Amino acid sequence: MVSIGVGILGGGTVGGALATRLLTEQDAIAAKSGLTLELRHLAVRDPGKPRPYVFPPNLMTTVPEEVVDDPEVDLVVELMGGLEPAAGLVMRALQAGKPVVTANKELMATTGAELLEEAGRRGVSLLFEAAVGGAIPIIRPLSESLAGERITEVLGIVNGTTNFILTRMCQQATTFREALAEAQSLGYAETDPTADVSGADAAAKAAILASLAFGTWVGRDMVHTEGIESLDVADIGFAADLGYVPKLLAIASETGTGIAVRVHPTLVPVGHPLASVSGSQNAIYLRGPGVDELLFAGPGAGGGPTATAVLGDIIEVARELLAGAPAPPRVRLAPAGLRPVAELETSWYLRLEVVDRAGVLARIAGAFGDLGVSIESMVQIGRGETATLIFVTHPSPESGSRRAIEALSGLDVVRQVAAAIRVLIA
Ligand code: NAP
Ligand code: HSE
């Protein structure tokens, strides 16, 4: 059986799990795929660091260029994360005519267009199935199986850490901090969890999904992004009473006059397929006239699940290498016409802390009405001198809703607009 030499850049959560499987499951992989995958080189920063599996010292290096340049390495797997030196190393491998597999969403959402162009020029593959949704097959379905579908909307729960945190806050009323610490101990969160909780990780994945779904280049910096840091457990309870579940959603939609891509906390009606996706699970829900609705769901983070997706890409690339033909470009990216979020129709959950006396409701309703925002429902919880008012608004232009929120904050009867969360327009 022909063997293919694999070099891995990074031996952490994902790289460590992948390297372990290449070393311990070589026969099983060969029996199933017909390929012998040989781990030839593994780059880490600190070879002395304790790891769950002890790698043979002769495979390890602290100089990642040695992995890329090793003539025994036929394909390079980038699992270091971050932009540099990863981007330079991936470019170096492609320019040397070596195919690359990566799980790095930040890399693909920032320099993906450039790297894919280089891969196309060299006739080699650059695959990134694990960059979105961990083990869930979504990149290949979007770029191949659904290449002929006119996708109109993609909704994704694409960050396991935040979904885990929100699920814990919903089901056990755990605080944000406690749930985050648990997500970190389970290996879902990035080393620095800021990217998870601020929505930046989901925004990179939203950019990749939008690019593939609409065949257009959407970069990470083009995605409107809001995180979950300021969500209050009290609103999660009130929203549950109204029949909603909070999710950090990546939303990419074709609006008729351009594509809109955004990431923000969203209240999802309990009956929606995404509402029951809990814990660190990820899910991507698609709509299109041909397929109607599709749901892809599964483990979206963690070393084992992510390594499975990487391994699938490695096997595909290894088959291409054995076939000896240049890899076909799988993705075509035209320039995007993006629509700003302010121009979209959005619906809101608003919690107001107000003075509890006659005429207050009329003034608040007037502020909504003056800016063309229609109220779908309202709940009042009296607390003596003050009251909590919870409104859900009908869909209306986001710019009007924002002006209404500003106007409400300025009313002397409103002590505070304590929460403003978008509601999914299903
Ligand atoms: P990680 O645990 O932080 O591992 C990074 C690895 O890269 C470590 O082994 C580190 O060495 C090595 N490294 C970093 N900089 C290096 C340098 N300059 N030279 C040599 N080695 C270097 O990260 P991870 O969680 O495995 O994530 C890897 C990639 O997969 C990222 O792009 C991430 O976004 C993506 N991803 C992760 C998950 C997940 O669940 N973790 C899921 C999907 C995608 P040391 O071990 O010596 O520190
Ligand atoms: N930190 C990421 C998450 C890992 O929580 O989903 C997968 O990219």
Q: How high is the mean pLDDT in each 10-residue block of the chain (426 residues)?
A: 93 96 96 95 95 94 98 98 97 98 98 95 96 97 95 97 94 86 80 91 97 94 95 93 97 93 98 96 97 96 93 96 84 82 94 92 92 93 88 95 94 95 94
Instruction: Kindly state whether residue 139 falls inside one of the protein's structural domains.
Output: no
Based on the domain organization, do 45 and 101 belong to the same domain? yes
Report the alpha-carbon distance of residue 344 to residue 51 in Å, rounded.
Answer: 48
Q: What is the number of domains present in the chain? A: 3
Q: How do strand 60-61 and strand 334-335 relate by DSSP bridges?
A: unpaired
Instruction: Kindly state whether residue 176 falls inside one of the protein's structural domains.
Output: yes
Based on the domain organization, do 244 and 367 belong to the same domain? no
Q: Residue 412 Cα, ligand 1 centroid: separation in angstroms? A: 52
Report the alpha-carbon distance of residue 332 to residue 214 in Å, rounded.
Answer: 10
Write down the H helix ranges in 39-193: 64-69, 86-95, 105-122, 139-140, 160-172, 176-185
Instruction: Kindly state whether residue 86 falls inside one of the protein's structural domains.
Output: yes
Instruction: Kindly state whether residue 141 falls inside one of the protein's structural domains.
Output: no
Of 44, 159, 190, 313, best ligand 1 pocket probe by most atoms within 8 Å of the beta carbon: 44
Based on the domain organization, do 153 and 295 belong to the same domain? yes
Based on the domain organization, do 243 and 281 belong to the same domain? yes
Report the alpha-carbon distance of residue 299 to residue 14 in Å, rounded.
Answer: 14
Total count of residues recorded for the chain = 426
pLDDT at 145: 95
Does residue 13's CB lie within 6 angstroms of at least one atom of ligand 1? yes
Among residues 241, 273, 299, the one where a domain terminates is 299
Query: What is the tally of helices (H) and strands (E) in the chain?
Result: 14, 19
Based on the domain organization, do 245 and 365 belong to the same domain? no
Q: Residue 95 Cα, ligand 2 centroid: separation in angstroms? A: 29
Q: Residue 421 Cα, ligand 2 centroid: separation in angstroms? A: 23
Based on the domain organization, do 295 and 322 belong to the same domain? no
Q: What is the separation of C-alpha 398 from the centre of its chain, rounded to a whole number of angstroms?
A: 23
- Asked whether the beta carbons of 236 and 246 are under 8 A apart, the reply is yes
Nearest ligand to the CA atom of 131 = 1
Pocket of ligand 2 (CB under 6 A): 134, 159-161, 188-190, 196, 201, 300-301
Residue nearest to atom 1 of ligand 2 (CA): 189
- Asked whether the beta carbons of 14 and 79 are under 8 A apart, the reply is yes
Q: What is the separation of C-alpha 332 from the centre of its chain, rounded to a whole number of angstroms?
A: 21
- Asked whether the beta carbons of 133 and 296 are under 8 A apart, the reply is yes
Which atom of ligand 2 has the smallest separation from the CA of 306? 7
- State whether residue 172 is helix, strand or coil: helix
- State whether residue 395 is helix, strand or coil: coil
Residues designated as active site:
205
Of 129, 182, 190, best ligand 2 pocket probe by most atoms within 8 Å of the beta carbon: 190
Instruction: Kindly state whether residue 321 falls inside one of the protein's structural domains.
Output: yes
